[in-house]
Structure 1
Amino acid sequence: MKNTESSAAVKPGRTSGAGRLLIAVYGVFAISASARAGYQIATHFNDAPVAYLLSAFAAVVYIVATISLAKPGHTGAVVATTAICIELLGVLVVGSLSLFDPAAFPHATVWSMFGRGYGFVPLILPVIGLWWLYRHRQAAGE
């Protein structure tokens, strides 16, 4: 027989409920950024190698964030926080550079113009991700 009193007292963790939606969105971005970078590198690498390598780096960051967000426990939370902080820094730096020095990015990356090509989701997503991790920091030991 299940102990309903103790299971009712357990708070939902960061990998359940809305956390699953967050993981799914990161998963979509991991696939999207990987496909974009793969296509750009395979077909037009010589046109803008820095921009395309940044897209590939963004894809790796999204993959790591997706996997670590889905992994319960403290280590998953630490890796997810690190990946999402790198993502936010990348969006802010690349977004600023592409805005103030457009010649530096002749072709768009995932993070160019703060993710304008993706409806600014790359700018908003890390903020939501960090908020979610902060909100569920107590549940990191799931």
Structure 2
Amino acid sequence: MAVTYSAMHSGPGRALTAVYGVFALSASARAGYQLIREFDEAPVAYSLSAFAAGIYILATVCLVIGSRTTHRIAIVSCIIELMGVLVVGALSFTHPEVFQAPSVWSGFGIGYGFIPLVLPVVGLLWLARVGRRVRTQESASQLQAS
């Protein structure tokens, strides 16, 4: 019996993937515009927006594929995303001169309704749940084989 990460494609998994997809598109569009048109105004903030867009794209692709390897990459992506929003969010308040313009993660994602702060937490919780389910299936499969 092949054990898969098909649980990632269930209702909540699809919703999570859809939200990541929307953020990948919106952050990419925003970062692209900012890098092309306004980079000289706030290079740090706009580079961070591009980095955030890349993380959202990577997480979305990994959630869509749903293999063991992409599951692990998605976990790392969510951790990087959470660390980024926490660090950039704090620095945007303590060092506002560095963030002359808002990025996706500025103010803990205030410009996006704090979804950038909540999304990686929800993502990590979902990925942990899916991982536990797969490990349980693997254990059952190994018991049946012996």
Q: Same fold (TM over 0.5)?
A: yes
User: What are the residue-to-residue correspondences of 1:18-33 with 2, within 5 Å?
Assistant: 18-33=12-27
Aligned to 1:93: 87
1:68 partner amino acid: C
Aligned to 1:3: none
RMSD: 2.0
* Segment of structure 1 superposing worse, 11-20 or 114-123: 11-20
Q: Please list every run of 5 or more consecutive structure 1 residues that lacks an aligned counterpart in the other structure.
A: 1-5
1:82-125 deviation digits (Å, cap 9, x = unpaired)? 11100000000000000111111010000000000000000000
| Aligned residue pair count | 134
Which stretches of structure 1, 4 residues or longer, exceed 2 Å deviation after superposition?
A: 138-142
The structure 2 residue matched to 1:64, chosen from 58, 61, 83, is: 58
Q: Offset of 1:130 from its aligned partner?
A: 0.2
Identity %: 54
Contact 1:14 1:140 in 2 (8 A): no
Contact 1:73 1:140 in 2 (8 A): no
Aligned to 1:39: 33
Say which SS state the counterpart of residue 104 (structure 1) adopts. Answer: coil
Say which SS state the counterpart of residue 75 (structure 2) adopts. Answer: helix
TM-score, L = length of structure 1: 0.88
The structure 2 residue matched to 1:123, chosen from 117, 121, 142, is: 117
Aligned to 1:113: 107
Q: Offset of 1:51 from its aligned partner?
A: 0.7
2:12 partner amino acid: A
Flag the 1:46–1:77 CA change in 2: closer, same or farther, 3 A: same
Q: Offset of 1:138 from its aligned partner?
A: 3.2
1:32 partner amino acid: S
Aligned to 2:48: 54
TM-score, L = length of structure 2: 0.86
- Cα distance between partner residues in 2 of 1:53 and 1:110: 10
Contact 2:5 2:130 in 1 (8 A): no
Flag the 1:139–1:72 CA change in 2: closer, same or farther, 3 A: farther
The structure 2 residue matched to 1:136, chosen from 130, 133, 144, is: 130
Contact 1:15 1:71 in 2 (8 A): no
- Cα distance between partner residues in 1 of 2:5 and 2:108: 35
Contact 1:33 1:58 in 2 (8 A): yes
